[in-house]
Amino acid sequence: HRLEGPERIAIQTGDTVEITIDSDHDDELHVHGYDLHLTVHANQPASLRFTADHAGRFDCELHHSDLALGALEVSPR
């Protein structure tokens, strides 16, 4: 697995977040705490876009690979 980009992303509530992922195998991206899921197909970039509407630290991972990608740290405005 190759990871590119920050392991921690600091944003504020109200910000728009877009996570783009490209994997060499099928998987599922999870954004914990926001209960968001994105199906990822091998060698096909996929994007998840949402508004950060609550503060805290939220881990992002590839579910089937059990691979932690990093975390969103959302601060209140």
pLDDT digits (tens, 9 = 90+) for 4-21: 556 888 999 999 999 999
Tokens 């991972």 correspond to 61
| pTM score of the predicted model | 0.84
Distance of CA 23 to the CA centre of its chain: 13
Rounded CA gap, 4 and 51, in Å? 22
Rounded CA gap, 35 and 24, in Å? 24
Rounded CA gap, 77 and 68, in Å? 27
Q: What is the pLDDT of residues 8-57, one digit of tens each?
A: 889 999 999 999 999 899 999 999 999 999 999 999 999 999 999 999 99
Phi-psi region of 35 (alpha: psi -120 to 50; beta: other; left: phi over 0): left
